[in-house]
Amino acid sequence: MKGPLDLVAGALADPVPTLRQAAEEARLPLPLAIAAAALAVAGLAAMRGPIGLLWMGFGLAGLFFLAAVLQLTADLLGGRGTGRGLLAALALAQTPALLTAPVAALGLVPSPSWLGAALRAALGLWTVVLEVLAVREAHRLSTGRALAVMLLPVVALLLLALLVLGAVVWMGPGVPDLFFSSR
Amino acid sequence: MSRRRLGAWVLAILILVSLAAVWWAGTDGPIGGVVALVRLEGTLTAGGPVRDWSSSGPGSDRIVSELVQAGRDPSVRAVVLRINSPGGSAAGAQEIALELGRLREVGKPVVASIADVGASGAYWVACGSDLVVVNPGSLTGSIGVYLELTLLEELYEKLGVDFEVFKSGPHKDMGTALRPPTDAERAILQAMVDDIFEQFVDTVAAGRSLDRDRVLELADGRLFTGRQAVDLGLADRTGNLQTAIAEAAALAGLKSYTVRELGRRHPLERLLEELQSLAGSLQTLAGALRPIPPGGLLR
């Protein structure tokens, strides 16, 4: 089994075999610890004080939620991986968040104001790409299907929002009666 | 050691050093030549933030802590205090003005920039700066103090609610909403208002280098426009926030500088503040169900 440094280096430099191995082994403690560290670094680089650590808590909760949703979606699209394996791979996909510290430190030396924002956006994109790879490797899907697994919940959420909006518009003036009945 | 493992070690050290640097500097701006921007917006109070149905303001604690941060940060060379406040408590103004004085003592010039309004307690704060910049149409001045008591005796009578008060001394419930003040209490409260007014006048006279008698002439509580304030010596020049920043940089002798807003909060922090404020509103609501405590608000 690889140590934390090997896993971090692997997730950043050689993600495909690293994520595949993490999904196959489906051992959660180390990948989750790495995700927690990455999210804590991101939080502390953005916000000083203990509130930065709250970011880690929210991030980890979000990671479990993301894994649950993607597991269901992947299953519907023919995925064959386990939830534990997907969670382990998704946890390692958070590794680029470790680099938010050097990006924040870059702001301490004279540099163009757009550079920090561009680098942060690049880190975000990198994480999404790793998450797609994590889904692909954990469920042995094609890249297209893995991308669909990522996009389907977003599309479903948008459709649901549109449906709710449509219902509200359709019901029109009757809506307030649901909340305020006149007697 | 493999190259990848070595790279991972280098990365780990880089992350730790970066994190330490960001924490040490407490900033995300370039080193050297920073003009810090601190905002004073809303009703001024001493202590924590206030946000209820009638008023909202950051509280002096947050502003003082941002000024302390500006004082400690070696890259901050000057401070601009952006004011948009109708005033508030005298104690809140004094807490902030004291910290402005400390900044000036350590050689960091402070420039006050008044947006829409910087009156009463907010003007008190502005007097603690090296320079006051106003828009010609800003509202400022209102040098004076007032104490407001709410009397609810008749309302309670109509509601059929009666209170019985036990007190250790004759003036312990001074300012209560349950009865009008006695003559002795009126004299005590007026003396308090007068004392705070004297402190206000002294602050304006010292801060603006004006003759005390001249300040007394202007201190009838009236508001002035920014242009009037400049003419009367209550402000230094007209201009906007950028003017104030340029003035602050010039006072600090900075040829090139960047502006860093202190206290800019992360969305998560803002969310927590909103939740805190909601809890505060609920507490206020719960408090309204109890008899109104004694005391008014010194403005």
Per-residue model confidence as pLDDT tens digits over B111-121: 999 999 999 99
Tell which residue, B138, B31, B37, has the closest CA to residue B79: B37
Chain A partners of B26 at a C-beta cutoff of 8 Å?
48
pLDDT, one tens digit per residue, over B79-93 is: 999 999 999 999 999
Q: Judge whether residue B261 has pLDDT over 90.
A: no
Q: Judge whether residue B289 has pLDDT over 60.
A: no
Task: Give dist(CA A74, CA B152) in Å, integer.
Answer: 66
Task: Grade residue B9 by pLDDT with cuts at 50, 70 and 90.
Answer: confident
| Pairing assessment for the beta strands B110-119 and B139-141 based on DSSP bridges | parallel
A175: CB partners within 8 A, 6+ apart: A168
Percent helix, strand, coil in chain B, to 5, is 45, 20, 35
CB B35 within 8 A of CB B252: yes
pLDDT of residue B103: 95
Q: Give B85's strand partners.
A: B118
Task: Grade residue B287 by pLDDT with cuts at 50, 70 and 90.
Answer: low
| Pairing assessment for the beta strands B223-225 and B139-141 based on DSSP bridges | antiparallel
Structural domain includes residue A178: no
Q: Judge whether residue B284 has pLDDT over 60.
A: yes
**CB neighbours (10 Å) of residue A20?**
18
Task: Say which of A9, A44, A116 has its CB closest to residue B8.
Answer: A9
pLDDT of residue B72: 87
Q: Where are the domains of chain B?
A: 28-143+216-298
**CB neighbours (10 Å) of residue B168?**
7
Q: Judge whether residue B51 has pLDDT over 80.
A: no
Q: Judge whether residue B244 has pLDDT over 50.
A: yes
pLDDT, one tens digit per residue, over B133-167 is: 999 999 999 999 999 899 998 999 999 998 888 99
Tell which residue, B55, B71, B126, has the closest CA to residue B93: B126
Q: Judge whether residue B297 has pLDDT over 60.
A: no
| Pairing assessment for the beta strands B237-238 and B223-225 based on DSSP bridges | unpaired
Dihedrals phi, psi of A172, to nearest 5 degrees? 50, -130
Q: CA of B72, closest CA in chain A: separation in Å?
A: 15
Each of the 183 residues of chain A gets a pLDDT tens digit; together they read 578 888 898 899 899 999 999 999 988 899 999 999 999 888 887 766 666 777 788 889 999 999 999 999 999 999 889 999 999 999 999 999 999 888 888 777 666 667 778 888 999 999 999 999 999 999 999 999 999 999 999 999 999 999 998 887 777 655 544 444 444
pLDDT of residue B280: 67
Whether B30 and A12 lie within 8 Å, measured CB to CB = no
Q: Is A32 helix (H, G, I), strand (E, B) or coil?
A: helix
Task: Look at chain A and report how many structural domains it folds into.
Answer: 1
Chain A partners of B272 at a C-beta cutoff of 8 Å?
51
Which residue of B6, B14, B28, B259 is the best one to mutate when testing the A interface, meaning the one whose CB has the most A CBs within 10 A? B28
Q: Give B35's strand partners.
A: B78, B259
Detail the DSSP E strand segments found in chain A.
none
Q: Please name the residue that has the structure tokens 């669909």.
A: A148
Radius of gyration of chain A (CA): 20
Task: Give dist(CA B157, CA A29) in Å, integer.
Answer: 67
Whether B11 and A47 lie within 8 Å, measured CB to CB = no
ipTM score of complex: 0.71
Structural domain includes residue A94: yes
Q: Which residues of B lie closer than 8 Å to A, measured between beta carbons?
A: 4-5, 7-9, 11-12, 14-19, 21-23, 25-31, 266, 268-269, 272
Task: Give dist(CA B8, CA B25) in Å, integer.
Answer: 25
Tell me the angle at which helices A51-76 and A143-171 cross, rounded to the nearest 10 degrees.
100
Task: Give dist(CA B165, CA B159) in Å, integer.
Answer: 18
pLDDT, one tens digit per residue, over B174-217 is: 989 999 999 999 999 999 999 999 999 999 999 999 999 999 99
Report the CATH superfamily, name and number, of domain B28-143+216-298.
Answer: 2-enoyl-CoA Hydratase; Chain A, domain 1 (3.90.226.10)
Task: Give dist(CA A99, CA A118) in Å, integer.
Answer: 13
Q: Which residue has the higher pLDDT, B52 or A3?
A: A3
State the virtual CA torsion across A59, A62, A67, A73 in degrees, nearest 10.
-140
Structural domain includes residue A183: no
Percent of chain B's residues with pLDDT above 70: 84
Q: CA of A44, closest CA in chain B: separation in Å?
A: 8
Q: Please name the residue that has the structure tokens 């917006």.
A: B41
Whether A101 and B18 lie within 8 Å, measured CB to CB = yes
Shortest CA distance from A109: residue in chain B = B30
- Could you tell me the two tokens for B276? 């805190």
Chain A partners of B30 at a C-beta cutoff of 8 Å?
107-111
H/E segment holding residue B22: helix B3-25
Give residue A37's domain range. 4-170
